Amino acid sequence: MSRFHAPIAEQIWDMKYRLKDGAGHPVDGSVEDTWRRIARALAEVEAEPALWEDRFYSALEDFRFLPAGRITAGAGTGRTVTLFNCFVMGTVPDSMAGIFDALKEAALTMQQGGGIGYDFSTIRPRGAEVKGVAADASGPLSFMDVWDAMCRTIMSAGSRRGAMMATMRCDHPDIESFIEAKKDPARLRMFNLSVLVTDAFMEAVKADGPWELTFGGKVYRTLQARDLWNRIMRSTYDFAEPGVIFIDRINQMNNLAYCETISATNPCGEQPLPPYGACLLGSVNLARLVAKPFSDGAELDLAELDELVRLAVRMMDNVVDASRFPLPEQAREAQMKRRIGLGVTGLADALLMVGLRYGSEEAAARTEAWMKAIARSAYLASADLAREKGAFPLFEADKYLGSGSLTHMDEDVRAAIRTHGIRNALLTSIAPTGTISLYAGNVSSGIEPVFAYAYKRKVLQKDGSRTEEEVVDYAVRLWREQMGDAPLPDYFVNAQTLAPLEHVRMQAAAQKWIDSSISKTINCPEDIGFEEFADVYLAAWDQGCKGCTTYRPNEVTGSVLSVSEAGQAAPAEAPEPKGGEVVYLTDPLDRPAALEGATYKVKWPGSEHALYITVNDIVISGHRRPFEVFINSKNMEHFAWTVALTRMISAVFRRGGDISFVVEELKAVFDPRGGAWMEGRYIPSILAAIGGVIERHLIAIGFIEGEGMGLKTDPHADVQVLGVKAKACSSCGSYDLRMVEGCMTCASCGFSKCG
């Protein structure tokens, strides 16, 4: 009998986490094989591997502990990938050579699958003097454009695109340009942006005082702090970025404040890290730990939680030794501090199962109590590990115990650390869990509220037929199993019905016992007033949060798909929104014996031989769409990359959905040696020329409307959107994108640019 409670969970496992050989044939025959593979890999560093393999397996079983996707997909595979999720790169030098060395390091990190963060505050502002070359500096944003272009060309391990976070201090002279960079919807698409807000700035905002923009000891401009704050708020209100990071609070509360300074975070913000800092992630599934759900005696099993957390800490500590790293500096940083990021998922479901309304004062108090229990267990487990295996190399007891997040820790925990040391410098973090939450049976994600209690999903089969399935939240499914058709109680609320300040209350309650940070999106209604919106950020500051990320539907990032519940009505009784269909391909389509297509000739200036590009199409339900590509040339120097491009593009085409992003990505590739003029326009590279050919073909067969216009219609989906145009998922083509934990995430296939 399958361990999966829903088809989508099994499909996520098969697509993202199931080990397959080079030909695509499964090596993991079942999810139990996947758990065994992970358990065995993480037990190999133990003195008694067999003993710990079985214990680790028990933690993974039934989706109780969920290592992050990098670990689940990569552990025990023998592949050259990192098991770490989060990286902050080294300080960017304020020199041309240093900047491009940093760019190279970023590319190497993304190549192995790591999401990265960068602080661009170290680059001199636009217009500043560049001594020795009689020129003015182009400023940090121009170099961010270079990083963005690099990221677009790299696919992270596991077919995930690279994700990046860019931060800038609130006193940098280019901060105003940074704040408004994403007014252009085509600019910096690979970046999340956040402003590093200092305590001094917040004090100046509240006092309506002046604020100096400085670099290198020089004051470039003075303005009113409140005016700058309002510019941040207005941009976030209109375009959903930048986020806000309270950087002084992060450094004050850092366990390692005595030996590191933080100025950036990973792409989703839950991991503030020093230069070359790296962190791995994992989540305890609280929804699986509730005893007697929906009864008067429902409660979280704290004894089971303690045992599970202790096993999870040991497993994650072993990952530090089992993982590869893109750069030696990252390996050294990880070994010296051994930081891990143990978090939770299924919090909202667990609260529902014990009868509490997410966002209420009672739910916030229970959340704080659960987070404290996790922190206690994690710190005690790490102290035990230090007694057995040794403390992290930079541990200094007095300095460590005097750090901000340890001052309110229980005395018995502090005593254990003082006596034995601690194995892991930092232990807790709440990360995005969108994909692994689906994999675990569609439990609520991280500490987010339930987004949708149920929605319909159309699955396209190989023969062109479609089947329909309902994707139901984990807690709702349990309610139906126990209560039948009884309507959902009033305390079943979701992300759309919660007030923004209720989101803040929950984030602040969890933050007290999280030594790193939290990835959380505060959903705001489209019609929220600007002043009320800005008050959300002030509330986050006043209540002790380390950062704040909101999402309000807007014309740049789009809106979300209507979901199948109406208000708080039971999803089983609520009508499906008109045309709310989502298409997903479970497997690549089989190739018919014959296909129709066209061949195009491209003569790149300066090249002796032409390229010949053949695009073949398949007809599904009367609609023609591209199925495969062949690229040929007599130039043997082109052989390897044209074969690779042929295979990659064809594999994407055969998955279906909106594949027009392939054109977009190819056309964005630039050649550092220079492009060429073709047919009256400048083409930045031969790859961009190939992208243009494929685009013309898509226009010719009616798949897209015109140049640069993307998908014309999905032949299998008619969507209803709220207020503004919705965007399609670049992985599966569905219109089920939603902002989750600071990152736009597809609920149909789990794709997220943040990994």
Q: Which residues are catalytic?
A: 266, 268, 270
10 Å CB burial of residue 614 (0-12, 13-18, 19+) is middle
Decide: 583 and 751 in contact? Cβ < 8 Å. Answer: no
What whole-number distance in Å separates Cα of residue 24 and Cα of residue 417? 48
Decide: 459 and 717 in contact? Cβ < 8 Å. Answer: no
Write down the H helix ranges in 112-219.
Answer: 140-152, 175-179, 199-207
Cis bond upstream, residue 605 (ω within 30): no
Q: Name the maximum alpha-carbon separation found in the chain.
A: 79
Q: H or E segment at 489?
A: none
Q: What is the 3-state secondary structure (H, E, C) of 596-633?
A: EEEEEEECCCCCCCCEEEEEEEEEECCEEEEEEEEEEE
What whole-number distance in Å separates Cα of residue 452 and Cα of residue 109? 35
CA dist list (Å): 501 to 538, 547, 595? 10, 14, 56
The residues, ordered by sequence, that sit 6+ positions from 115 with a Cβ below 8 Å of its Cβ are 85, 86, 87, 156, 162, 163, 164, 165, 266, 267, 268, 754, 755
Decide: 659 and 653 in contact? Cβ < 8 Å. Answer: yes
Dihedrals phi, psi of 412, to nearest 5 degrees: -65, -35
Q: H or E segment at 400?
A: helix 397-401
Q: Kindly state the DSSP code that residue 498 receives in the 8-state scheme.
A: S
CA dist list (Å): 106 to 102, 147, 148, 692? 6, 8, 11, 28
Decide: 572 and 485 in contact? Cβ < 8 Å. Answer: yes
What whole-number distance in Å separates Cα of residue 564 and Cα of residue 580? 9
Closest by CA to 492, choosing from 673, 363, 380, 685, is 363
Q: H or E segment at 136?
A: strand 135-136
Structure tokens at 84: 């770490």
CA dist list (Å): 645 to 157, 440, 575, 608, 707? 17, 34, 44, 20, 22
Q: What is the 3-state secondary structure (H, E, C) of 14-38?
A: HHHHCCECCCCCECCCCHHHHHHHH
What residues does 617 pair with on adjacent strands? 596, 626
Radius of gyration of the chain (CA): 26
What whole-number distance in Å separates Cα of residue 514 and Cα of residue 446? 13
